[in-house]
Amino acid sequence: MKRKFFAVALASVLLAVGAAVVAAQQGLLPFVIEGRSFVSQEAFINAGLRCATPHVDDERAAEIDAHMLAHRGGPGNARKPGDPPPQPAVTGGMINVHFHVINNGTSLANGNIPDSQIANQMAVLNAAFATTGWSFNLVSVDRTTNATWYTAGPGTTAETQMKTALRQGTAADLNIYTNNMGGGLLGWATFPSSYAANPQGDGVVVLYSSLPGGTAAPYNQGDTATHEVGHWMGLYHTFQGGCARNATSGGDLVSDTAAERSPAYGCPTGRDTCTNLPGLDPITNFMDYTDDACMSTFTAGQDTRMDSAFSTYRYGK
């Protein structure tokens, strides 16, 4: 009797474990990040919390591309009528970085990340962009204790106040802010094309616990910053436009990133959501929404786009 009971109990446990594994693989288990719980990781992604960088619609994106094509030769070298488009003025270089740590107290739990994490984040950025010719040089770190800025979100008065007070440098200088924006949000950025209208708003904001060694698993290896800096350099999401892909440049206006219907999460090897178009979904690309451990790639086309955007909107500005 005891043996039969044990066998039934063991079978029940194995079934429960198997069901949990299947549920986890299917994204059906609760997904918890920084104390906020979602029905699944898919629900977290669909809530728009992986990245709050504003979407650029097709009309505006076309205007930006036309402007880049005419002006990527840099200041004083605009395209003349009848001339071919100029080559990008710069195709790489060292970008100075000003790092602003916004905290709510002196402890790590209050966002006061140590210099070692900042150094590790810089290393992650430089490794990610190594194939593009762009590198990042940390030139300053400042720390501000401000409860309002600590929870500043995109488009808020607190964000404006924070950036107005702290931003340093020119259009070519990267300002990174870390705080605890809340709600499960990981970060956001501004595009190069936005600089002229709002120079003080330019920069990248990331959740402090998304830096390498932070607690925002599976987004705690530093690639939230990589993703947002990609936007700051002029890149769109790989899934922009879904499967309604432009024949030559796609929804993200980069020809060598395969189309995908929606953001990927986790690391779904072999995912193919646009079966009518060539190529598997670019799940390893830094501009998708996969886990940090899954991200490893910028394409040659993305590199070219970054060169053009920087040359047009940041170089010499």
Catalytic residue positions, numbered = 228
Report the alpha-carbon distance of residue 202 to residue 192 in Å, rounded: 8
Q: Which of 188, 289, 182, 179 is nearest to 229 (CA)?
A: 188
Backbone angles phi, psi at 298, to 5 degrees: -115, 140
- Give the position of tokens 């995912």: 271
φ/ψ (deg, to 5) at 117 = -70, -35
Q: At what angle do helices 300-313 and 58-71 cross, to 10 degrees?
A: 70
Supply the DSSP symbol for 41.
H
Radius of gyration for the chain, computed over Cα atoms and rounded to the nearest angstrom: 22
The two beta strands, 204-207 and 187-189, are: antiparallel
Report how far residue 146's alpha carbon sits from residue 162's, in angstroms, rounded to the nearest whole number: 9
Beta strand pairing call for 174-179 and 93-103: parallel
**Vertex 128 angle, CA 135 and 295, to 5°:** 160
Based on the number of CB atoms within 10 Å of its own CB, is 199 exposed (0-12), middle (13-18) or buried (19 or more)? middle
DSSP 80: P
CB of 242 within 8 A of CB of 227? Answer: no
